[in-house]
Amino acid sequence: MRTLIRRADVFDGKSTRLREQVNIVIEDNLIREIVPGDVPAENFEAVYDAKGYTVIPGLVDAHVHLSWHSTELDRMRVDEVAVRAARVAEIMLLKGFTTVRDAGGLTYGVKKCIDGGIIPGPRVFPSNAYISQTCGHGDGRSSRAQSVLPGDRPISPFLLSGASVIADGVPEMLKAAREQLFLGASQIKLMAGGGFSSRYDPIRTLQFSLEEMRAAVGAAEDFGTYVMAHIYTPAAMRRAAQAGVKSFEHATFIDEETARVIQDQGIWICPCPQFGGEPSEEGAPAPKPPTSKPPNPYDTEYIEKSRNPEQATELINRFNLPIVFGTDVGFSLEFIAAGQLKDFRAYKKRFGSHKGLVSATGAAHELLKLSTSQNPYPQGKIGVLTAGAFADLLFVRGNPAEDLAILADRGNIAFIMKDGRVYKDLNTSARSDSSPDKPQ
Ligand SMILES: [Zn+2]
């Protein structure tokens, strides 16, 4: 099938200037060429008119959980998790996220159903289960009464589901990492420090020894890929950097010394503003992460003293650290509705509109390349609009490279195409003979 998009002002994922009034020529699911001038419409089965819109690459959220949300998983059966994940996948796609990097959970089956056309959803770069130490951020047991049965058999529904794998020591870490690679993990996700949503690990805890993390990095690198790590504190970041971790998730309490280490080693930061405690709307109160964690005065004092989004922003900008857009939304539907697109306001405020938009497109393109042979979608480019890219694109009212807050309102996204197929179209079809399915 040949598709033409006419009169497009194109943001290619990186440039500061748009390519104005060009034609995007699509064959099946790939962009063949982007050319100026007149292209005769007769040779195409579908023609769309982008006049009045900016055409941008489909958005990439580099930190989501399609099928995980806090400790609620410990109160759900697996079929409920799967149904929720299917709904979440569709919602994300209809917000314009045509690709997500899943930062851990029960992802294998959801991804397979999306890729197989059974349910609508974004492309998924899966970590599959995230790996945690016992009593770490991924030890999702909701009660201390949930001891582990003889033979290492957990009684927690959460641990039994396989969304998280507990590994202690180098041999268990190697096995856990390789098991995720077996399931097609495009990267390995470690929980490398305390979290806000887990009950029994204070924020300042260091999780995984250097040797354990090095084992995971080695297993990932042997398969051509890398480790991403949930991480908040400078001490945890320095240990993870030493182990060779390539993507820091949150990095909320970054200090100058750590910023230098991150710069030296070219580590990516996915700041996930919601969990940095920043309001995504002007004047709104700082969001509280979903948590069942009892307050810990030792943590509270540290967080109050150390949380300084302005300083973190200043360091990221001053050291020009590579960032990607990530929201950390899990499968609370309210949370996705409130947070996923609205975080573009926070990115605009922290990093500026152009860098913020690049973080969700061209920068994500670079990050996702780190998966090399574990890339589940090697046939096309992701996060950019050039020849050879997948036909994943949006029509947006206004220019989000100049005002990123435009993207906070999904009403400004008039047209969503993923893999050459249209999922949302507010009347831009100049002519479409074989109109692709529209799910709503
Ligand atoms: Zn996360």
> 388: which strand partners?
none
Span 274-286, average pLDDT: 56
Helix/strand/coil for 75: helix
Q: How far, in Å, from the CA of 8 to the mean position of ligand 1?
A: 36
Average confidence score pLDDT of the chain: 90
Q: How far, in Å, from the CA of 412 to the mean position of ligand 1?
A: 27
pLDDT in tens, 377-434: 999 999 999 999 999 999 999 999 999 999 999 999 999 999 999 999 997 766 654 4
The span from the CA of 399 to the CA of 417, in Å, is 18
Q: Look at residue 319 and tell me whether its pLDDT is greater than 70.
A: yes
The span from the CA of 179 to the CA of 433, in Å, is 46
Span 301-310, average pLDDT: 81
Contact 393, 55 (CB under 8 A): yes
Q: How far, in Å, from the CA of 251 to the mean position of ligand 1?
A: 12
Q: How far, in Å, from the CA of 395 to the mean position of ligand 1?
A: 29
Degrees to nearest 5, angle at CA 338 with 369 and 75? 85
The span from the CA of 382 to the CA of 384, in Å, is 6
Tell me how many helices (H) and strands (E) the chain has.
13, 20
Q: How far, in Å, from the CA of 332 to the mean position of ligand 1?
A: 13
pLDDT in tens, 347-366: 999 999 999 999 999 999 99
Amino acid sitting at position 341: L
Q: How far, in Å, from the CA of 179 to the mean position of ligand 1?
A: 20
Q: Look at residue 289 and tell me whether its pLDDT is greater than 60.
A: no
Q: How far, in Å, from the CA of 103 to the mean position of ligand 1?
A: 6
Q: How far, in Å, from the CA of 62 to the mean position of ligand 1?
A: 10
The span from the CA of 430 to the CA of 167, in Å, is 56
> Which pLDDT value is given to residue 280?
56
Model confidence band, residue 294 (pLDDT cutoffs 50, 70, 90): confident
Tokens of 385: 């609009």
**Between 301 and 86, whose confidence is greater?**
86
Q: How far, in Å, from the CA of 35 to the mean position of ligand 1?
A: 40
Set out the domains of the chain in order of their start, with CATH numbers: 2-58+382-432 (2.30.40.10), 59-351 (3.20.20.140)
* End-to-end C-alpha distance for the chain, whole angstroms: 22
Report residue 21 CA to chain centroid gap.
31
Q: How far, in Å, from the CA of 120 to the mean position of ligand 1?
A: 22
Q: What percent of the chain has pLDDT over 70?
A: 91
Tokens of 45: 């089965």
Model confidence band, residue 60 (pLDDT cutoffs 50, 70, 90): very high
Q: Look at residue 333 and tell me whether its pLDDT is greater than 90.
A: no
The span from the CA of 323 to the CA of 87, in Å, is 28
Model confidence band, residue 369 (pLDDT cutoffs 50, 70, 90): very high
Query: What is the chain's Cα-based Rg?
Result: 21
Which of 313, 338, 316 shows the shortest CA–CA distance to 327? 338
Model confidence band, residue 285 (pLDDT cutoffs 50, 70, 90): low
Query: Per-residue DSSP letters for 174-211?
Result: HHHHHHHHHTT-SSEEEE-B--SS-SSS-TT-B-S-HH
Helix/strand/coil for 38: coil
CB atoms within 10 A of CB 98: 27
> Which pLDDT value is given to residue 433?
46
Q: How far, in Å, from the CA of 418 to the mean position of ligand 1?
A: 24
Tokens of 269: 């930061």
CB atoms within 10 A of CB 235: 15
Give the pTM. 0.93
**Between 235 and 81, whose confidence is greater?**
235
Which of 3, 156, 14, 183 shows the shortest CA–CA distance to 71? 156
pLDDT in tens, 134-184: 999 988 787 787 777 667 676 788 888 888 999 999 999 999 999 999 999
Q: Look at residue 112 and tell me whether its pLDDT is greater than 70.
A: yes
Q: Look at residue 260 and tell me whether its pLDDT is greater than 70.
A: yes
Which of 169, 248, 258 shows the shortest CA–CA distance to 216? 169
> 19: which strand partners?
10
Tokens of 437: 């399915």
Q: How far, in Å, from the CA of 7 to the mean position of ligand 1?
A: 39
> Which pLDDT value is given to residue 86?
93
Tokens of 274: 């919601």
> 68: which strand partners?
none
Contact 59, 97 (CB under 8 A): yes
Q: Between β-strands 2-10 and 46-49, what pairing exists: parallel, antiparallel or unpaired? A: parallel
Q: How far, in Å, from the CA of 9 to the mean position of ligand 1?
A: 34
> Which pLDDT value is given to residue 183?
97
Q: Between β-strands 2-10 and 53-57, what pairing exists: parallel, antiparallel or unpaired? A: parallel
Count, residues in the chain = 440
The span from the CA of 160 to the CA of 426, in Å, is 44
